[in-house]
């Protein structure tokens, strides 16, 4: 049992605790420390009244100020969105192939598209857009579905071979392993591998196999058809590998790559920004749309915001893009 006493040397009362003859003095705390401690208690009480503090079953007390870090972030995002609204409206106010005609709009689209690419596309196509086996390289000039900015925007908007969007691009390579013998597949693989070296696609027995089974989609010249997503087999660019084993596997099983649709997830303005970014990476094709189109035809009639241009007039008129100085792969 502890027994308090007055220390003979200091004259201070002890706590009564004794460890092998060592005793603890019961010195009072410094006044400045006590007042600081009391101030912290008072501050914590005030804080819990004004700010979110006490956890509840499905949330926390909100505090009388209604402030939260999430709300602060939401306000910052809303402020940035408001500042960018004129550019998003500008993207919707012109045909997608006309974005590049306005330097300021093009710059905004590329910068916004770069951020969108990092968040949504780099997981498959790589952070540098160089792709990987089964995922197209977006830096070259080889495009399965066309490399004009309109083609790229459509591919992003609707995706490829997915079940979510009825307008998704669709093509299917047959699994020739169920139709041809192993010897025929091996011969056809060697024949296809030699096409970039200038081999006549229709020459020899393997050429006959090519004519009977492959030319319908890839063409008699083996240069493919972007209208149906058939790749060019003469350019030495291989999506699933160029060695014999990879080519035999491709021919045998008929790969079926899928790309999700991004139109509903990102919104049309972001789709156009992303298309502008991918198009300028190095492999984008120039040229006007294949047919006379306007904004309504590209994204659906009625989807263009009313008054997207500053006067609400012709949305294809570049003079109506609202900028401050005027209004003061996707393979």
- What tokens appear for 53 in the block? 């503090």
Contact (Cβ atoms closer than 8 angstroms) between residue 259 and residue 161: yes
Whether this model's pTM surpasses 0.75? no
Percentage of residues in the chain having pLDDT higher than 90: 69
Query: What pLDDT, in 10s, does the model give residues 41-85?
Result: 999 999 999 999 888 888 888 899 988 888 899 999 999 989 899
At 298 the pLDDT is: 42
Query: Taking 50 as the threshold, does the pLDDT of residue 323 lie above it?
Result: no
Cβ count within 10 A of residue 100: 17
At 150 the pLDDT is: 95
With residue 88 as reference, give the H or E element that holds it: helix 69-93
Report CA 168 to chain centroid distance, whole Å.
Answer: 18
* Domains of the chain, first to last: 176-253 (1.10.760.10)
Query: Taking 60 as the threshold, does the pLDDT of residue 300 lie above it?
Result: no
Buried b (16+ CB within 10 A) or exposed e, 251-271: bbeeeeeebbbbbeebebbbb
Query: What pLDDT, in 10s, does the model give residues 204-225?
Result: 999 999 999 999 999 999 999 9
Query: Taking 60 as the threshold, does the pLDDT of residue 301 lie above it?
Result: no
Query: Taking 50 as the threshold, does the pLDDT of residue 241 lie above it?
Result: yes
At 7 the pLDDT is: 77
The average pLDDT across 163-181 equals 95
What does the mean pLDDT of the chain come to?
86
- What tokens appear for 66 in the block? 């209604």
With residue 279 as reference, give the H or E element that holds it: helix 268-279
Per 3-state DSSP, what percentage of the chain is helix, strand, and coil (rounded to 5)?
A: 45, 5, 45
The average pLDDT across 145-168 equals 96
């Amino acid at each position: 049992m502890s027994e308090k006493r007055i220390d003979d040397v200091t004259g201070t009362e002890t706590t009564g605790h004794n460890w092998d003859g060592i005793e603890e003095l019961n010195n009072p705390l410094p006044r400045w420390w006590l007042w600081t401690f009391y101030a912290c208690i008072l501050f914590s009480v005030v804080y819990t009244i004004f700010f979110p503090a006490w956890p509840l079953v499905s949330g926390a007390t909100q505090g009388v100020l209604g402030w939260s870090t999430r709300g602060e972030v939401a306000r910052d995002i809303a402020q940035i969105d408001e500042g960018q609204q004129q550019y998003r409206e500008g993207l919707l106010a012109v045909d997608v192939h006309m974005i590049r005609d306005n330097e300021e709009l093009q710059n905004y689209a590329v910068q916004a598209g770069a951020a969108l690419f990092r968040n949504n596309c780099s997981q498959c196509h790589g952070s540098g857009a160089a792709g990987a086996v089964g995922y197209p390289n977006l830096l070259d000039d080889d495009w399965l579905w066309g490399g004009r900015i309109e083609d790229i925007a459509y591919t992003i908007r609707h995706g490829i071979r997915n079940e979510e969007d009825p307008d998704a691009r669709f093509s299917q390579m047959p699994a020739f392993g169920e139709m041809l013998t192993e010897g025929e597949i091996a011969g056809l693989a060697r024949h296809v591998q030699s096409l970039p070296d200038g081999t006549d696609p229709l020459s020899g027995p393997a050429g006959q196999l090519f004519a009977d089974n492959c030319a319908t989609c890839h063409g008699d010249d083996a240069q493919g058809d972007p209208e149906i997503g058939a790749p060019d087999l003469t350019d030495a660019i291989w999506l699933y590998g160029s060695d014999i084993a990879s080519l035999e596997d491709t021919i045998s099983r008929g790969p079926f790559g899928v790309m999700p649709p991004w139109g509903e997830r990102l919104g049309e303005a972001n789709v156009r920004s992303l298309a502008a970014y991918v198009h300028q990476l190095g492999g984008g094709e120039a040229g006007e749309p294949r047919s006379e189109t306007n904004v309504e035809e590209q994204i659906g009639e009625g989807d263009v915001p009313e008054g997207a241009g500053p006067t609400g007039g012709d949305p294809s008129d570049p003079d109506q893009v609202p900028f401050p100085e005027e209004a003061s792969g996707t393979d």
